[in-house]
Chain A
Amino acid sequence: MDNVLQFLLPNVSQVMDEFYLSIIQTLQMVFVSGVISFVLSLIIGIVLISTRKGGILANSFVFNLFDKLINLFRSIPFIILIAALIPLTRLISGTAVGVQGTLFPLIVGITPFFSRQIESALSEVDDGLIESGIAMGLSSFQIIVSVYLKEGISSIVRVTTITVISLIGLTAIVGVVGGGGIGDFAIRYGYQQNQLDATYVSIIVLLIFVSIVQILGTFISKKTTH
């Protein structure tokens, strides 16, 4: 087994510990920033959908504020955003490097995209359902929870899958600026030291991650559709 590994991955097999650590770091980054961003995006998505024109709490000021903020952040390329956020990251996380230093930029980077995705998922909920919720005498809060979220679950799962896959991509980018993880591993060994096997093995790991997320997402989305 060790011989096969050495034959297939002559360079990586020398730094297996580091390789395993990078996998764990990627998982940590995706999981922690994903969960925090999910909560934030759900809130922002709900704010957008309820304050939009004709929404249940229509308010053009609030809507425009969030709408423009999202556009602003989405227009900044992620790698530049990381650099721009460094002072703020230090302030919040105490450091701008390592997994701890990547979480804040990852959250800021993915949340605008995620919020848009949630907004579009919620807007798939038929207006007729919202109207019948109003006609029943439900409050705005009840409509959000019992109609938008409940009826939007399948779409929310679908857009979360897309977003997590994008997030995995972003974690590879933060690697470049000292974040650790698979991306960092691939750049340091595969690119800078020209060890091609490190690049390929990183691709395979990411491919496995993305596949698992996609399969899981499709499965849950199907389960929640009646």
Chain B
Amino acid sequence: MTSEIIRTEHVVKTFTVDKKAHSVLKDVNLSIETGEIFGIIGYSGAGKSTLVRCFNGIEKANEGSIFFEGQNIVGLKSRELRAIRRKIGMIFQQFNLMPSRTVFGNIALPLKHSGLSKQQINKRITELLELVDLPDKRDAYPSQLSGGQKQRVAIARALVNHPKILLCDEATSALDPKTTKSILYLLKKLNKELGLTIVVITHEMSVVKEICQKVSVLDKGKIIEHGDVYSVFSNPQQELTRSFIETTSALGSVKALIETQSPVVQLQPGQLLLKISYTTSSVSEPLISYISRTFHVDANIVFGDIQILSGNPLGGLIVILSGQKSAIDRALEYVKQRHVAVEVLNHG
């Protein structure tokens, strides 16, 4: 049984700069369920940072409603809003640790006036440092930490009040790929062990692919595509979504190869250059060897990229088919029947 933790209805946000109105969010509707890792992806300027700031009221929506655990936070008084914010953790691209405070001081900051005793605070921070795997950095200053360690401290600080949800605003964008992986792994662990709902704002599809279960694609202040990550990846409906997905797949590079007339995709007369995309579990069938045996065609796999996403294979192969024209046609017909998407990229 899942329940909604955040729901937005017709959220509109307009900034006025020099008396000119810029609408950043136009009618955003989405629903985030407790316990899921929810990705919001978009290019810079799409409004994703503004949207996530509306969730905790740092930005005020001009129109529409934002429900946090069923309570509309639009129009709340600042005192009530502060109480809500303590239930919502947030981390940032630039970490935003207080440079003049130690790791301990940073994590303890949100506990100001929480009424906890010194011992309780101590105990809580020890727990959190264990959780984010930095038990020996308690007395270090942020300037002495690496980027990944800073983000771990920021995560610990965001969790100190036992929030229900963690908002991550481009939390890995300032980190190198290896550190990104370790932070994403930590987020996944927190989601699993604490049942923490996580909202991930990013412009990197690889981040979504790595940890999200659901994804919304935001473009010019509107959600243009939404769904569970596998179905969005396997069957993108919008051009923008497709362009995001191509950034994570080697298959996208075939277009450049054709355009630059690379020798690997040069065709002899009668040959076909195909992109075969797997969208269901059909990848386990011996498709290539079957068609070459049955239809007497030669299939030369130029390259391929198949990844496992949410437990299902996703991706495809770039193949050059050669043989009798009729044989090739029958082979193509067969492949299409197997629910495998075939795209003829080039003729010889």
- A residues lining the B interface (CB < 8 Å): 126, 128-129, 131-139, 142, 146-147, 150-151, 153-154, 224-226
Measured between beta carbons, the chain B residues less than 8 angstroms from A131 are 58, 92, 96
Say yes or no: is B77 at the interface (Cβ < 8 Å to chain A).
Answer: no
Contacts A135-B90, A136-B109 given; does A150 touch B85 at CB 8 Å: no
Cβ of B99 and Cβ of A135 under 8 Å apart?
Answer: no
A126 to B88, CA, bound (A): 22
Measured between beta carbons, the chain B residues less than 8 angstroms from A137 are 82-86, 110, 161
Cβ of B86 and Cβ of A136 under 8 Å apart?
Answer: yes
CB distance from A226 to the nearest CB of B (A): 4
Cβ of A129 and Cβ of B98 under 8 Å apart?
Answer: yes
Binary contact readout B127-165 vs A (1 if CB under 8 angstroms, 0 otherwise): 000000000000001110000000000000100010000
Cβ of A128 and Cβ of B112 under 8 Å apart?
Answer: no
Say yes or no: is B118 at the interface (Cβ < 8 Å to chain A).
Answer: no
Binary contact readout B75-108 vs A (1 if CB under 8 angstroms, 0 otherwise): 0000000111110101010101011110000000
A128, A132, A147, most chain B CB atoms within 10 A = A132
Measured between beta carbons, the chain A residues less than 8 angstroms from B98 are 129, 147, 150-151
A226 to B142, CA, bound (A): 8
Say yes or no: is B65 at the interface (Cβ < 8 Å to chain A).
Answer: no
Measured between beta carbons, the chain A residues less than 8 angstroms from B100 are 150-151, 153-154, 224-226
- B residues lining the A interface (CB < 8 Å): 56, 58, 82-86, 88, 90, 92, 94, 96, 98-101, 109-110, 112-113, 141-143, 157, 161
Measured between beta carbons, the chain B residues less than 8 angstroms from A150 are 98, 100-101
Measured between beta carbons, the chain A residues less than 8 angstroms from B88 are 135
Contacts A151-B98, A226-B99 given; does A135 touch B113 at CB 8 Å: no
Contacts A131-B58, A135-B85 given; does A146 touch B112 at CB 8 Å: yes
Classify the secondary structure of A's interface with B. Answer: helix
Measured between beta carbons, the chain A residues less than 8 angstroms from B101 are 150
CB distance from A77 to the nearest CB of B (A): 36
Q: Which residue of A lies closest to B89 (CB)?
A: A135
In the complex, how many residue pairs between chain A and chain B have their CB atoms under 8 Å apart? 59
Cβ of A142 and Cβ of B113 under 8 Å apart?
Answer: yes
Known contacts A131-B92, A135-B88, A138-B82; 6 additional CB pairs below 8 A are A132-B96, A136-B157, A137-B86, A138-B109, A138-B110, A151-B99
Measured between beta carbons, the chain B residues less than 8 angstroms from A154 are 100
Instruction: Give 9 closest A-B pairs by Cβ, nearest first.
Output: A137-B85, A132-B96, A137-B86, A226-B141, A136-B110, A135-B90, A128-B96, A137-B82, A128-B94
Contacts A135-B90, A137-B85 given; does A129 touch B96 at CB 8 Å: yes
B98, B110, B141, B157, most chain A CB atoms within 10 A = B98
A135, A138, A139, most chain B CB atoms within 10 A = A135
Measured between beta carbons, the chain A residues less than 8 angstroms from B84 are 137
A95 to B141, CA, bound (A): 52
Contacts A128-B94, A226-B99, A226-B143 given; does A138 touch B58 at CB 8 Å: no
Measured between beta carbons, the chain B residues less than 8 angstroms from A132 are 90, 92, 96
Write 20 A-B pairs (CB below 8 A) sorted by A numbering: A126-B94, A126-B96, A132-B90, A132-B92, A133-B109, A135-B85, A135-B88, A136-B86, A137-B83, A137-B85, A137-B110, A138-B110, A142-B112, A142-B113, A146-B109, A146-B112, A150-B100, A150-B101, A153-B100, A226-B141
CB distance from A220 to the nearest CB of B (A): 13
CB distance from B100 to the nearest CB of A (A): 5
CB distance from A35 to the nearest CB of B (A): 24
A37 to B28, CA, bound (A): 50
Measured between beta carbons, the chain A residues less than 8 angstroms from B110 are 136-138
CB distance from A123 to the nearest CB of B (A): 16
A147 to B97, CA, bound (A): 11
A133 to B158, CA, bound (A): 11
A129 to B101, CA, bound (A): 12
Q: Which residue of A lies closest to B110 (CB)?
A: A136
Measured between beta carbons, the chain A residues less than 8 angstroms from B142 are 226
CB distance from B128 to the nearest CB of A (A): 14
CB distance from A55 to the nearest CB of B (A): 14
CB distance from A56 to the nearest CB of B (A): 10
A12 to B45, CA, bound (A): 71
Cβ of A139 and Cβ of B82 under 8 Å apart?
Answer: yes
A133 to B56, CA, bound (A): 12
A139 to B110, CA, bound (A): 11
Pick the contact of B58 from A126, A129, A135 — CB < 8 Å? A135
B85, B96, B142, B143, most chain A CB atoms within 10 A = B96
CB distance from B10 to the nearest CB of A (A): 24
